[in-house]
Amino acid sequence: MAGGGELLRRLRAELVGIDTRVLTLSGEMRRYVNLDNAASTPVLRPVMAKVDEFLEYYANVHRGQGYKSVVSSRAYDEAREIVARFVKADPCRQTVIFTRNTTESTNKLARIFPFRPGNVVLTTMMEHHSNDLPWRRRSRVIHIGLRDDGSLDLDDYRRKLAEHRGHIDLVAVTGASNVSGWLNPTGLLARLAHETGARFALDAAQLAAHRPIDMRPFDHPEHINFLSISGHKMYAPYGTGALVADRDVLENSEPDLVGGGMVDMVALDDAWWRELPEREEAGTPDIVGAVALAAAIRLLEAVGWDAIIEHEERLSRYMLEKLRSTPGTIIYGQSDPSDVRGRLGAFSFNLQGMQHSLVGAILSYEGGIAVRCGCFCAHPYMLCLLKVPPDQAEQVRKEIRAHDRSNIPGAVRASVGIYNDESDIDALCDCLKRIAAGDYIGKYAMHKETGNYLPIGADVFNVDRRFTIDPRLPG
């Protein structure tokens, strides 16, 4: 564990862009502080270096006999094996399908899954839209309720399992909330789902970079049938995701997409699909993205979960202590610094009397601090946490349909990763205290169509145009 802790300290210096300085409204260049990891994580240099090394051999995979194609094929297949071992998938009963991201994984599963007419999917009120909307297209969706603190109401889960017993095809739950950081008891949820005859799907997008995952053997009562992850939340560039799925569901359905690379033979009136996993990966895959995801996984494993959990729990305690000492701060979800075992380092909050997107704009333009504002692709959950009355929610929906997002309810979210330290949290909370005291220099106006605030008379990000897409040509 000591070795993992020391490696974590060294990794901060290995983050791509850790020393980037950005122009602020005062004209001062400030170190960029990234506390938006729940959206996407930055890239770590060891992962980038492995990608750069692989690019020397990059070619299309499978069926090619050129040397680079053989190397690329082996790397791509090894990446699949690394993902399967990472989540402890059952190698006899499950397979790994590479996708663009968790959203695509869930949509793919929703299109393939053999839903029975009249049956239901159970999900929760805390889900990201990508683990809610895809199921609605194929089945009736029933939402498990929440407790007052935003955590899952297990009593309501048991009630709904009993009420719909025999008619539940799937229980689909997030491993951790991207809004409040709450960790769900996935083993218990899976066991109770299986007792009713349902399969269990875990959205691990927010979980995979922070906690170990064990899908367990097929005959285990807490077996996870389906799981999705995204590399862009795990310090890997290119954004490749993966769906780990029970083979029988994929083998007994038509392929989701058809085209090149997933057929053995095509006649004018028929086609013969390849075996899994190739039959679910039509076209040329994101080979480099798969290598990047696998390299990031190996890096997380090298650091070790004990070190990662200890580090992020320390930061969570520190963040909650600092937020609670900031005047007018309202924290949503668990806010006790002495009890952080049941949460990840994602913190949603508001400053009393201030619009969330205004706070986010000031943090960015005057502090060089990246957070996220709004409802975080979890609108029903945020409306519950904010206790927005139904009539107000309906009024906001009418305004949005009229292209006016001025009154969208929401919060500010700060989220930490393995490279963050207390200095990042200090920068955030020092700036929040100045904002709460009215000590900021800019005058800001809202853009109604986006709901975002911009400083009046200044265009900071266009002044500092050090990046363009034009490549450097030789000579």
Give me the CATH number covering residue 213. Answer: 3.40.640.10
Higher confidence at residue 472 or residue 348?
348
297 and 309 both lie in a single domain: no
CA 344, 348, 349: angle at the middle one, nearest 5? Answer: 140
For residue 2, name the pLDDT band (cuts at 50, 70, 90). very low
List residues with catalytic annotation. Answer: 377
| Overall size of the chain counted in residues | 475
For residue 1, name the pLDDT band (cuts at 50, 70, 90). very low
**263: which strand partners?**
273
Q: What is the CATH number of the domain that holds 458?
A: 3.90.1150.10
Residue 227 placed within a domain: yes
Rounded to a whole number of angstroms, the CA Rg of the chain reads: 23
183 and 328 both lie in a single domain: no
Q: What is the pLDDT of residue 175?
A: 98
What is the distance of C-alpha 114 from the center of its chain? 26
Nearest to 16 by CA among 235, 181, 194: 235
Q: What is the pLDDT of residue 89?
A: 98
Query: How, if at all, do strands 33-34 and 369-370 pair?
Result: parallel
Q: What is the pLDDT of residues 48-79, one digit of tens each?
A: 999 999 999 999 999 889 999 999 999 999 99
- Statement: the pTM of the whole predicted model exceeds 0.75: yes
Among the three residues 301, 331, 357, which one is the final residue of a domain in this structure? 301
For residue 422, CA distances in Å to 35, 37, 164, 322, 383 come to 12, 15, 47, 10, 31
Residue 250 placed within a domain: yes
Q: What is the pLDDT of residues 285-323, one digit of tens each?
A: 999 999 999 999 999 999 999 999 999 999 999 999 999
Residue 75 structural domain: 48-301
Among the three residues 286, 301, 316, which one is the final residue of a domain in this structure? 301
* Residue 324: Cβ-neighbour burial (10 angstroms; 0-12, 13-18, 19+): middle
CA dist 196 and 219 (Å) reads: 15
Q: Is the pLDDT of residue 338 over 50?
A: yes
For residue 164, give both structure tokens.
Answer: 């719909």
Q: What is the pLDDT of residues 426-466, one digit of tens each?
A: 999 999 999 999 999 999 999 999 999 999 987 655 555 66
> DSSP alpha helices (H): ranges in 87-114?
102-112
14 and 144 both lie in a single domain: no
CA dist 231 and 248 (Å) reads: 26
For residue 243, CA distances in Å to 52, 109, 278 come to 25, 8, 13
CA 225, 146, 173: angle at the middle one, nearest 5? Answer: 15
CA dist 104 and 245 (Å) reads: 14
Residue 475 placed within a domain: no
Q: What is the pLDDT of residues 13-37, one digit of tens each?
A: 999 999 999 999 999 999 999 999 9
Among the three residues 256, 285, 301, which one is the final residue of a domain in this structure? 301
Query: How, if at all, do strands 168-174 and 199-203 pair?
Result: parallel
Q: What is the pLDDT of residues 350-386, one digit of tens each?
A: 999 999 999 999 999 999 999 999 999 999 999 999 9
**Is 444 within 8 Å of 355 (Cβ atoms)?**
no
Q: What is the pLDDT of residues 234-255, one digit of tens each?
A: 999 888 999 999 999 999 999 9
Task: Say if residue 46 is preceded by a cis peptide, omega within 30 of 0.
Answer: no
Query: How, if at all, do strands 168-174 and 120-124 pair?
Result: parallel
Place of tokens 């996935």: 186
Look at residue 304 and give its three-state secondary structure. Answer: coil
344 and 232 both lie in a single domain: no
313 and 164 both lie in a single domain: no
Residue 179 placed within a domain: yes
Residue 147 placed within a domain: yes
